[in-house]
Chains A and B, each alone.
Chain A
């Protein structure tokens, strides 16, 4: 027994070292981009030359770039709203709707994870041409809703499933309608997950290239702009400066989304009756739920 435990401890140390190496493999290539974005040379190679902000300066005042940035932000915001709305309703109906249709919709909504981006891209390209509006920002929004949908459905489903069933049943038994229960009980309870799903859907859209490539009209998104710049060796340092900014923003958004998701789950795990048993908290007819 004790021998086994020592073995396990040593195994753990080796595994820990392996995980460190793995993290280096994961991060080292990505961290080269910020490193070379401050390097005073067109070539991304060692040894490093002087330190410079030159490439960041060329970023400002570039109208093609700022146009692409605005496109990405607008498309990301709309697509994330759409994907989150679908994620909420699809997973809610899947869990509480008790209908085969809701279960079918939920199953199909998670399907895009089994479709390569190139195929999502061409299928929507055919569709939007058939409808008549063709490649455009709207087309990219539709594509990005599809790409983000499995994520939002999974996040919202696990969140709704984590809320004790009794809370919803209590609300319904107390005479609240489906709408009221959904809007004043279930939505506030899952708010951190909703924000997290929205942010992750936004990031998915903001970074997505493969689908957008087929659906872009005359106005590229940021990844499409980067793609167009990759052909010119002279613009690579600027791409790295831009990439550094994108990495920084993505890291921050992902971190906030992660914190919110955990905070949400932690709030659910807290003993429920402690809050619900106090009548003064429900005197205004709504369930107060503080997820701090």
Chain B
């Protein structure tokens, strides 16, 4: 593998323009047209006033002023952030030990376990949310199981249609998202590093805190991001298990494009969500850099 060869750059003539063009075309069309241009349209529409037409009329900041000044949108945005933050925290904290076991203890069962924890990721999200509705409903599994086993005598309404139901359901739905990046980060830590720590007299917890945890932070941050982003814009789970007290910003965007039929305002809400996500991404990246330098 370590043969030293004087590398000559391949002659340019070999890379035909036709080849490059054909290979760049599908991805180029999709990324520039469907992603950049489409997102640009959202920003454009957010700056228009609603006159019922597709692209609105006249440029205005009115949509953004409403988003920023109406306390309703602050409440819902902060609630979305709180719920998404709680979901992210719960998911990452519960997923970490699983990833740790996979990386350091699973041995030959690793492949099977990895498959088992990622499998639910490929099954219908809608069905997973629906499953929690079955569990938490007034006539549901949890209530009927509690009464059958004699723990409670009356079914309770306290499970369904609460922010807590939203957090549990989303933490369940996005669990596989969190395990994989943390596992990958843990798996790349050289085992020799742990032996060194132990030889130098570090107790297991100390070497976890000083060696394993900091080195796995890039994975933890990546996991946090891939859980947070879809969660903050979700509108299915709040609609199915959340009740009115857990309306999230995704539900408001959906309503503007549906019933309310005020697309420019819905677009402004979407831009606000993207700004929030951008802020989170920037914070995570700066944290990532700090941890990156410690490795």
**Residues of A that sit less than 8 Å from B by CB:** 1, 4, 7-8, 11-12, 15-16, 18-19, 22-23, 25-27, 29-30, 32-33, 36, 43-47, 82, 85-86, 89-90, 92-93, 97, 99, 101-102, 105-106, 108-109, 111-119, 122-127, 129-130, 142, 145-146, 149, 169, 172, 177-179, 182, 200, 203-204, 207-210, 213-214, 223, 226-227, 230, 239, 243, 246-247, 250-251, 253-255, 257-258, 262
Contacts and interface: CB of A to CB of B under 8 A. Distances in A.
B115 A108 contact: no
B24 A93 contact: yes
Instruction: Indicate the size class of the contact surface on chain B.
Output: 35 or more
A246 B124 contact: yes
In this complex, the member of A45, A97, A109 whose beta carbon has the largest number of chain B beta carbons within 10 angstroms is A45
Contacts of B14: 172, 177-178
Nearest to A98: B15
A29 B135 contact: yes
Contacts of B28: 101, 105
B270 A127 contact: no
A258 B115 contact: yes
B141 A230 contact: no
A230 B240 contact: yes
Interface string B11-52: 000111001100111111011101111110110010000000
A16 B277 contact: no
Given A25-B172, A177-B16, A209-B236, 20 more contacts: A30-B120, A33-B130, A36-B134, A44-B140, A86-B30, A89-B24, A93-B23, A105-B31, A111-B35, A117-B230, A118-B273, A122-B253, A126-B41, A146-B35, A169-B10, A177-B19, A230-B240, A239-B130, A247-B124, A251-B123
A227 B126 contact: yes
Nearest to B147: A46
A239 B134 CA distance: 12
Q: Classify the secondary structure of B's interface with A.
A: helix
Contact of B273 (A8, A119, A130, A209): A119
A75 B198 CA distance: 55
A258 B274 CA distance: 33
A119 B274 contact: yes
